[in-house]
């Protein structure tokens, strides 16, 4: 009993509500033939029931769609051409077009051909049986606009949703790539630093063993050297662990790009491939400063575009942040952002420069390469 109830709850949760919500308009078509007074009314009501079944099957049974989609279009086409009902065909116009947006375009074009053939047939039949029924004075011509544009609107909307979904997937993949690059960078740091140091300890230990037999008086000096190297390695491990807590440039760019897009600001970068190879400590200082600077662009610059340029001029690491907004966004009265950025760069023995060119604000952040060597 509990399992059956859980199964129904799952089915209810997974219903395609965006497709079924349109059925709230179906009673308007039913009302035309109720109460049924003629055999024709009963036939049309039966076809409405067939349409409802086909509509549900198109939603729920994907493997049946090569059959159910043409049948649904045929039933609604009969209403359009013989029943003078050009509104029921809007249902497949939206439903099927939305589904076919993920299929090859030629499939959608075939559907569109049949759809408009029924629309034209319905208009021709209405003009032949009731001359003057389509006129500007009675609003019938205006009523044709929505049936005509429905498949195009639905197809375009669905394609837009698919593109947005693909963009989100791409962003998630990029985040995974960034994480992988971070792991590789950490592995390089460990190999280049601890690997060499431990190799040296191994060699000195082997030397101490030999000296223990040949020159015991020199063993103490070698052990002191091993102890000193071990202490240096311990300090190095602590430094690497501390670096892991610092955000990389890639992480900040991913996060701030989402924030900038939400504020309708376009972010472009130059030299990013070079910058992600910079030492961890250098990236950490720039990352914190960039996060503050780009946040100020969102809040105060009124910009439409911001460009971040990474380079290595004159034995240093440099980041230039240029926006096209209102100049002086960082130098307003009471601003603390600029003070914090200056303090970070000063602590790293770097320089911080701010300017207002012809348009917008420009920040130039520089750290000497000697800082990376010290770390």
Return the closest-CA partner of residue 367 out of 355, 347, 349. 349
At 69, the pLDDT band (50, 70, 90 cuts) reads very high
Q: How far is CA 368 from CA 253, 284, 285, 297, 351, in A?
A: 22, 14, 12, 26, 9
* DSSP notation for 138-192: TTHHHHTHHHHHHHHHHHHHHHHHHHHHHHHHHHHHHHHHHHHHHHHHHHHHHII
Say what the pLDDT of residue 332 is: 46
What pLDDT does residue 300 have?
Answer: 84
Model confidence pLDDT, tens digit, residues 294-312: 998 998 888 888 999 999 9
Q: Please give the Cα distance from 229 to 202 (Å, whole number).
A: 11
Specify the pLDDT at position 5: 57
pLDDT in tens, 193-239: 777 777 778 887 888 888 777 788 877 887 888 888 788 777 777 76
- Which of 50-59, 304-313, 355-364 bottoms out in mean pLDDT, i.e. has the lowest? 355-364
Mean pLDDT of the chain: 82
pLDDT of 3 > 60? The answer is no
254/32 Cα distance (integer angstroms): 56
Q: Could you tell me the domains of the chain?
A: 13-143 (no CATH), 181-244 (1.20.5.1930), 249-374 (3.30.565.10)
The mean pLDDT of 22-28, rounded to a whole number, is 86
Stronger pLDDT, 300 or 9, i.e. the higher one: 300
Is 357 within 8 Å of 334 (Cβ atoms)? no
Q: What whole-number distance in Å separates Cα of residue 371 and Cα of residue 206?
A: 35
* DSSP letters spanning 35-54: S--SHHHHHHHHHHHHHHHH
> What are the tokens at 228?
């000193």
Per-residue pLDDT of 152-203, as tens digits, reads 999 999 888 878 877 877 777 677 677 777 777 777 777 777 777 777 788 8
Residue pLDDT, tens place only, 44-55: 999 999 999 999
Q: List the beta bridge partners of residue 316.
A: 368
CB 349 within 8 A of CB 371: yes
Q: 266-270 and 305-311: which strand pairing?
A: parallel
| Rounded Cα gap, residues 268 and 218, in angstroms | 61
Phi and psi torsions of 55, nearest 5°: -60, -45
Q: What is the pLDDT of residues 269-298, one digit of tens each?
A: 999 888 988 888 899 899 999 999 999 899
Give the confidence band of 333 by pLDDT, cuts at 50, 70, 90: very low
Given a cut of 90, is residue 110 above it in pLDDT? yes
DSSP state of 232: H
- More reliable by pLDDT, 74 or 245: 74
pLDDT digits (tens, 9 = 90+) for 87-104: 899 999 988 998 888 788
Angle at 130 between CA 124 and CA 133, to 5 degrees: 85
The per-residue pLDDT for 102 is 79
Residues forming a β-bridge with 318: 311, 366
């Amino acid at each position: 009993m509990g399992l059956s109830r859980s199964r129904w709850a799952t089915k209810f949760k997974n219903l395609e509500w965006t497709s079924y919500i349109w059925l709230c308009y179906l009673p308007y078509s039913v009302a035309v033939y109720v109460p049924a007074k003629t055999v024709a009314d009963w036939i049309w009501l039966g076809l409405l029931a067939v349409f409802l079944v086909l509509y549900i099957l198109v939603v729920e049974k994907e493997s049946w769609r090569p059959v159910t989609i043409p049948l649904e279009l045929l039933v609604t086409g009969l209403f359009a051409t013989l029943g003078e009902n050009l509104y029921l065909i809007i249902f497949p116009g939206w439903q099927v077009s939305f589904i076919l947006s993920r299929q090859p375009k030629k499939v959608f074009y075939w559907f569109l051909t049949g759809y408009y053939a029924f629309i034209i047939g319905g208009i021709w039949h209405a003009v032949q049986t009731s001359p003057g029924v389509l006129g500007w004075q009675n609003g019938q011509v205006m009523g044709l606009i929505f049936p005509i544009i429905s498949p195009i609107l639905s197809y375009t909307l669905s394609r837009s949703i698919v593109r947005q979904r693909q963009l989100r997937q791409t962003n998630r993949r990029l985040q995974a790539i960034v994480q992988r690059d971070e792991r590789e960078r950490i592995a390089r740091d460990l190999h280049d630093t601890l690997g060499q140091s431990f190799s040296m300890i191994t060699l000195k230990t082997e030397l101490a063993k030999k000296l223990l037999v040949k020159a015991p008086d020199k063993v103490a000096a070698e052990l002191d050297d091993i102890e000193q190297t071990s202490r240096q390695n311990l300090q190095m491990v602590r430094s690497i662990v501390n670096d892991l807590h610092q955000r990389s440039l890639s992480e900040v760019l991913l996060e701030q790009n989402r924030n900038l897009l939400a504020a309708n600001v376009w972010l472009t970068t130059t030299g990013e491939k070079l910058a992600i190879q910079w030492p961890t400590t250098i990236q950490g200082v720039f990352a914190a400063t960039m996060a503050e600077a780009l946040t100020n662009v969102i809040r105060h610059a009124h910009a439409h575009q911001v460009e971040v340029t990474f380079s290595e001029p004159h034995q240093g690491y440099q980041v230039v942040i240029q926006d096209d907004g209102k100049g002086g966004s960082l130098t307003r009265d009471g601003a603390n952002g600029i003070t914090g950025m200056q303090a970070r760069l000063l602590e790293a023995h770097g320089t911080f420069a701010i300017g207002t060119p012809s348009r917008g604000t420009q920040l130039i952040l520089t750290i000497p390469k000697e800082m990376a060597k010290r770390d």
